[in-house]
Amino acid sequence: MENKMEDKRIIRVTGKANLKVKPDTTRITMTLEGCYMEYDETLRKSTEDTEFLKDILEKHGLERGNIKTLTFNVDPKYERYQAKDKSWKQRFEGYKFHHILKVEFDSDNKRLGKILYVLANAEKIHPEFCITYTVKDKEASKNELLGKAVEDARAKAAVLTQAAGVQLKEIQSIDYSWGEIALEYSPMRGNMMTDMCRSAYLAEESYDMDIEPDDIEVSDTVTVVWEIA
C-alpha cells in the first residue's frame, strides 16, 4: 500500500500538557498474610481472615462488593539453616498466603479515621494497610490533559509555520500514548501508616485524620501531523 503522506508536505509537532487534579476519592489497600503447615489449612485461614476483614469494613458502611482483590497467592515457605557439618540447608516452614485487597470511597477524614481504627485494632487479623488518594472520574481528567496537549501542539505549529512562511492545512494523524496515567497520590508508606495507627492510644474508637491531600500532577504528550502548503 502506498503511503499518501509521502506525496505531501507535512509538519510534525509534539505538544505537551500538565494538569493538576484535586483528589476526591480515598483508597485503602490492605494486605493479609499467614503461614500454616497444610495447604488446605492455609486456604481456609485466608478465607476466614478475608471474610472477617470484609465484615468489619461492612459494619462501617463500605459495601462488601466494593472490597476487591488485587493479588492473591499461596507459596511454600522455606528457611535456610546451617547444619552441624557447617553446610547450608533448607527446611520447609509451611504454605504462606499473601492477599492484597482494596476499597475506595468518597474522601471523608472522619470516616477514614474510624476505618483505620478498626483495621489497626482488629482482634483476629493484623493487616498492613496504606492510604492512596485518587480521582473518581479518571477519564475526564485524561481527556482534559489530551485536549491541552493538542492545543499546545497547534500553538507550536502556528508559530513554526508562520516563521517558515507556510500554511497549516488538514491534520493527517494524531499519535499519543495509550498507557495508563497514574492519577494517584500516597502521603505515607504502608508500614509507617500501620505502625503509627497501632501505637496510638485513643479514648474514642476513631483516629483524628487531619489529612489534606496535595493536588495530583500529571503530564502527557501528543504528536500531531499537519499537511502544509
For residue 219, the domain's CATH number is 3.30.110.170
Do 106 and 84 fall within a single domain? yes
Full residue range of the structural domain in which residue 101 is found = 25-134
**More reliable by pLDDT, 214 or 64:** 64
134, 153, 182: which is the final residue of a domain?
Answer: 134
Grid coordinates given for 17: 500538557
Asked whether 116 and 189 are in contact (CB, 8 A), the reply is: no
88, 105, 134: which is the final residue of a domain?
Answer: 134
Do 142 and 229 fall within a single domain? yes
Burial of 58 from C-beta contacts in 10 A (0-12 / 13-18 / 19+): middle
pLDDT band at 121 (very low <50, low <70, confident <90, very high): confident
Q: 196 in a domain, yes or no?
A: no
**More reliable by pLDDT, 213 or 50:** 50
Do 38 and 123 fall within a single domain? yes
Instruction: Note the pLDDT tens digit of each residue in 46-103.
Output: 999 999 999 999 998 899 999 999 999 999 999 998 988 889 999 999 999 999 999 9
pTM, two decimal places:
0.74
Do 53 and 125 fall within a single domain? yes
Do 85 and 69 fall within a single domain? yes
Of 85-99, 153-167, 208-222, the one with minimum mean pLDDT is 208-222
Q: 17 in a domain, yes or no?
A: yes
Do 18 and 85 fall within a single domain? no
Do 108 and 176 fall within a single domain? no
Q: 52 in a domain, yes or no?
A: yes
Do 66 and 100 fall within a single domain? yes
At CA 174, angle to CA 181 and CA 229, rounded to 5?
150
Task: Write down the pLDDT at residue 197.
Answer: 57
User: What does 49-62 look like in DSSP terms, one character per residue?
Assistant: HHHHHHHHHHTTT-
Q: Is the pLDDT of residue 161 over 90?
A: yes
pLDDT band at 195 (very low <50, low <70, confident <90, very high): low
Do 183 and 113 fall within a single domain? no
pLDDT band at 15 (very low <50, low <70, confident <90, very high): very high
Total domains, the chain: 2
What is the mean pLDDT of the segment spanning 127-145? Answer: 92
